[in-house]
């Protein structure tokens, strides 16, 4: 790093098995098109756990995770005009892309032909080093990848919108969710609870599908019109051939065949859960018989994410969160693995130095 690099402090993973611990490191200097954000809150995504434990591929340690970031603009580059010091902003899962390919030109940077740069464990296209994420006190980001977080939203509860919110918003809006549509949501966790809230707010009739009776009751509280406990005999039968779209948020391999049968003609089953193991095979005639589709969706583009944040700001929609201090992160990781959170942990970064 150059001599004008910015000192930073964060919570880092030092190996796949060691607990996360405090780490002093450096951010790149603020360039002409950069924004430096003083981070207030960062959500814990299950993908953080998978990544730092080496379950999704090679890792450069030490690594600061976190891609659900909310804070305030602390400094702007000389060529930045749309942000001012003090603005409430967010940073999500991407901090760079090629900005030239077809997907980028369509505002779908997450599908960049060259591959987008992850907020952490990616290659910093400016410094050449490894990107470090939001479990830290500050971050420097190209201004294109900075998002405005509405002031009316609780900052901590808004942080998971930068991943859990956009990951479900993007397919919901892509497949035209709105009044007159019936949407199924499989799995009521960090992603699923946002899918229920957003689909309901968009005007759809929402059917939650879960393996837990307690989660079924929760889904109704979140806005689902019906909730089905899939393990109960015959529970799915009343909904066969009735859903326009199913958002499947489950992060482990499972049987897709019963879900395909819930789709009406032209319906789509969209996978958003990052399951490392394969799902079961689907019989061809289950799809052919009603021109059903099985698709996938990855986070969302910058324009989509801003539209989602504006929508949530206008309607007061945030995630249900458990706010924790830095010292609670390792215990939170274990609880995330066991699905013991309602429904997202968010770190108060002021606790890095014992504040708040």
pLDDT at residue 343 in the model = 95
Is 52 in the same domain as 98?
yes
d(Cα 125, Cα 102) in Å, to the nearest integer? 20
CATH number at residue 37: 3.90.180.10
pLDDT at residue 275 in the model = 75
Q: Is residue 301 part of a domain?
A: no
Is 248 in the same domain as 342?
no
Locate tokens 């940077």: which residue? 109
Is 49 in the same domain as 185?
no
SS3 42: strand
* C-beta separation of 129 from 31 below 8 A: no
| pLDDT higher than 60, residue 355 | no
Q: Is residue 183 part of a domain?
A: yes
CATH number at residue 248: 3.40.50.720
* C-beta separation of 257 from 280 below 8 A: yes
Average pLDDT over residues 326-353: 96
Is 241 in the same domain as 156?
no
Per-residue pLDDT of 122-142, as tens digits, reads: 999 999 999 999 999 999 999
Is 267 in the same domain as 330?
no
- E strand spans, 77-181: 88-91, 94-96, 117-118, 138-142, 147-148
pLDDT at residue 277 in the model = 83
Is 124 in the same domain as 226?
no
Is 158 in the same domain as 169?
no
Report the greatest alpha carbon distance in the chain: 66
Q: Which residues of 100-133 are buried (b: 16+ CB within 10 A; e: fewer)?
A: eeebbeeebbbbbeeebbbbbbbebebbeebbbb
pLDDT at residue 276 in the model = 77
Percent of the chain with pLDDT over 70: 99
Per-residue pLDDT of 171-180, as tens digits, reads: 999 999 999 9
Domain coverage including residue 287: 164-296
Q: What is the bridge-based pairing of β-strands 226-229 and 205-210?
A: parallel
* Secondary structure in 3-state letters for 26-52: EECCCCCCEEEEEEEEEEECHHHHHHH
Per-residue pLDDT of 218-277, as tens digits, reads: 999 999 999 999 999 999 999 999 999 999 999 889 999 999 999 999 999 999 997 778
Length, in residues, of the chain: 356
Structural domain tally of the chain? Answer: 2
Per-residue pLDDT of 62-116, as tens digits, reads: 999 999 999 999 999 999 999 999 999 999 999 999 999 999 999 999 999 999 9
pTM: 0.96
* C-beta separation of 162 from 67 below 8 A: yes
Average pLDDT over residues 183-200: 97
């Amino acid at each position: 790093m150059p001599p004008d690099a910015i000192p930073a402090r964060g919570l880092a993973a030092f190996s796949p098995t060691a607990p996360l611990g405090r780490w002093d490191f450096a951010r790149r200097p603020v360039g002409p098109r950069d924004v430096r954000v003083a981070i207030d809150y960062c959500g814990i995504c299950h993908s953080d756990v998978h990544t730092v434990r080496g379950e999704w591929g090679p890792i450069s340690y030490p690594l600061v995770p976190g891609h659900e970031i909310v804070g305030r603009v602390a400094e702007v580059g000389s060529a930045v005009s749309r942000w001012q010091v003090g603005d409430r902003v967010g940073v999500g899962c991407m901090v760079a892309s090629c900005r030239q390919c077809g997907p980028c030109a369509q505002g779908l940077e997450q599908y960049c032909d060259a591959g987008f740069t992850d907020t952490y464990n990616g290659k910093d296209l400016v410094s050449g080093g490894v990107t470090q994420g939001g479990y830290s006190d500050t971050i420097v980001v190209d201004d294109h990848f900075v998002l405005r977080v509405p002031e009316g939203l609780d900052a901590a509860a808004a942080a998971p919108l930068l991943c859990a919110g956009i990951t479900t918003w993007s397919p919901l809006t892509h497949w035209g969710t709105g009044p007159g549509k019936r949407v199924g949501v499989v799995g009521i966790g960090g992603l699923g609870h946002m899918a229920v809230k957003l689909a309901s707010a968009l005007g759809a009739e929402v059917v939650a599908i879960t393996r837990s009776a307690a989660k079924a009751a929760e889904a109704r509280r979140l806005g689902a019109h019906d909730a089905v406990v899939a393990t109960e005999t015959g529970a799915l039968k009343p909904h066969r051939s009735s859903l326009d779209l199913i958002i499947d948020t489950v992060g482990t391999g499972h049987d897709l065949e019963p879900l395909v049968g819930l789709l009406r003609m032209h319906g789509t089953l969209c996978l958003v859960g990052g399951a490392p193991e394969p799902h079961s095979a689907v019989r061809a005639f289950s799809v052919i018989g009603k021109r059903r589709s099985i698709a996938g969706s990855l986070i969302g583009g910058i324009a989509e994410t801003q539209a989602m944040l504006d929508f949530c700001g206008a309607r007061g929609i945030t995630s249900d969160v458990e706010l924790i201090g830095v010292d609670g992160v390792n215990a939170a990781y274990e609880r995330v693995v066991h699905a013991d959170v309602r429904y997202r942990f968010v770190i108060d970064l002021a606790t890095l130095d014992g504040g708040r």
